[in-house]
Amino acid sequence: MSGRKHIAIILAAVVAAALLASSVTGFLLSRHYSRIQYEMLDTISGQVLDREPEAEESLMAVLKEYADKDTDHAGEKPVLASWGYRASDFSGISSGRLAVCAAAGLLPGIGLWLGTFWYRNRKEALRIRMLAEYLEQVQAGKAGLLPERREDEFSKLEDEIYKTVTCLYQTKEAAVQAKDYFAENLSNIAHQIKTPVTAISLSLQTMEQEGEDGQTERIRKQLFRLSHLEESLLLLARLDAGTLALKKEEVDVFTLLSLAADNLDEMLQESGTAIDIPEQGEMAVTVDLDWTMEAVINLMKNCLEYNPGGTIHCLYEQNPLYTQIQIRDDGKGFAKEDIPHLFQRFYRGKHAAEGGIGIGLSLAKEIIERQNGTIRAGNRPEGGACFEIRFYKN
């Protein structure tokens, strides 16, 4: 049933009820005034006969003619008006009682209209609340089928919501399947890499024992690169599959940054790069120390590659909403066209260092975002690249 038909039926019901009430009220008022008229004529006739008994025959004739309505009284001179009387003097009802009678007819009509309006609004409110609760269940992942109801003006909206939710569930399931498939492929690739890496490692050891030093250093570098690729792919597979367990514990930000810098001590000394981590008071974040430290190490490595021989600055601050960590350098910064793609897997920027595989920043992003955090990268106005991490409290 369409909304217009529904409204038309309600209005028809209200009009019908009003007409019925008017008919009943008119009938009852007609009987009431007929009774008043009869009693008034009876009283007047009795008083006239008491004073003039010989006028009985004349009075009866007049009453008979009036009752039979054989006489046209339209042209007769109004006697009562000439004597100064009005119709209200013989009605027997005061103006107050007339107002009460009018109110008695008006108030039920108003009440009926208000009741109908309230019922319709209440019904709409219940339907809206039901649809809102259904959407809340969808958001929480607990939605089922919508209860069957009679058609009304919300039926089309309800159908469209259900279609949209069904489509979203199908899209979500397809995305989860694709993600699981991708994670499985990454894992398989990593395990396939593991076999030749092991074989190369054994061959390298044999070559070193036999004194063949000509190509061993180059092989060692490539072997290290393959091993790092294998570990990164396995980590990506665990992140995509949701099997990477992240502990939650309060970690001091200064300690986190210091431990990350300690792990890069050898690389920093070789490149002549320094890391500045000022103490800015006790500030804690609720994260997994080991994996968050891994993410920070990747960010520091990136700054080191883009600014060898310079200084990496680490700053941090806290407010009621989040804890912010900045890791930045004094180098040339990122190429403008690289910035939108920095956190994409296997993306290598224009000035990326040789030997990288383009996974470090994407891993850092995954680890941080899985701990109620955000990360973004950009160039500072005064020069140099900057990573900004925010860990939100709620």
Q: Which amino acid appears at position 85 of this protein?
A: Y
pLDDT of residue 1: 46
d(CA 21, CA 3): 27
Q: For residues 199-210, b (16+ Cβ closer than 10 Å) or e, as one string?
A: ebeeebeeeeee
CATH of 156-241, one of 3.30.1450, 3.10.620, 1.20.120, 1.10.287: 1.10.287
Q: Got the DSSP string for 328-381?
A: E-SS----TTTGGGTTSTT---TTPPTT--S-HHHHHHHHHHTTTEEEEEEE-T
Which pair of tokens denotes residue 181? 């498939």
3-state helix, strand, coil in the chain (%, to 5): 65, 10, 25
pLDDT of residue 356: 61
pLDDT of residue 377: 93
What predicted TM-score, i.e. pTM, was given to this entire model?
0.51
Write out residues in the chain with pLDDT < 50, as ranges. 1
Query: Among 226, 151, 135, 139, which Cα is nearest to 189's?
Result: 226
pLDDT of residue 152: 67
Would you list the domain boundaries of the chain?
A: 3-137, 156-241, 249-392
What is the 3-class SS of 32-85, one letter each residue? Answer: HHHHHHHHHHHHHHHHHHHHCHHHHHHHHHHHHHHHHCCCCCCCCCCHHHHCCC
Q: Which amino acid appears at position 237 of this protein?
A: A
| Domain 249-392 belongs in CATH node 3.40.190.10 | no
